[in-house]
């Protein structure tokens, strides 16, 4: 039983981190960047990836 209780204690942490990764993917797509790449970067780096996305400028579209 102790194994399951330790997992339940960490579950909100994983849910929050996963939610942040999804938010970062949406934010990246809004700035014309790859949502999948930023989702994967957000899994290990979390708030640092969010900071990078907020600071980076929006990617310009094609000229023609």
Domain residue extents for the chain = 2-55
What pTM does this model have? 0.76
* Residue 53 burial (10 A CB sphere; 0-12, 13-18, 19+): buried
Grade residue 3 by pLDDT with cuts at 50, 70 and 90.
low
Query: For 40, what's the count of Cα atoms within 13 Å in the CB-facing half-sphere?
Result: 4
Q: What is the pLDDT of residues 8-35, one digit of tens each?
A: 666 677 788 899 999 999 999 999 999 9
- CA 51 vs CA 10, 26, 57, 61: distances in Å: 24, 14, 12, 23
């Amino acid at each position: 039983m102790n194994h399951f209780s330790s997992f339940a204690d960490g579950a909100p942490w994983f849910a929050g981190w996963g939610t942040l990764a999804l938010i970062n993917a949406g934010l990246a797509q809004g700035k014309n960047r790859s949502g999948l790449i930023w989702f994967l970067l957000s899994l290990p780096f979390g708030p640092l990836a969010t900071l990078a996305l907020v600071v980076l400028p929006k990617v310009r579209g094609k000229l023609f």
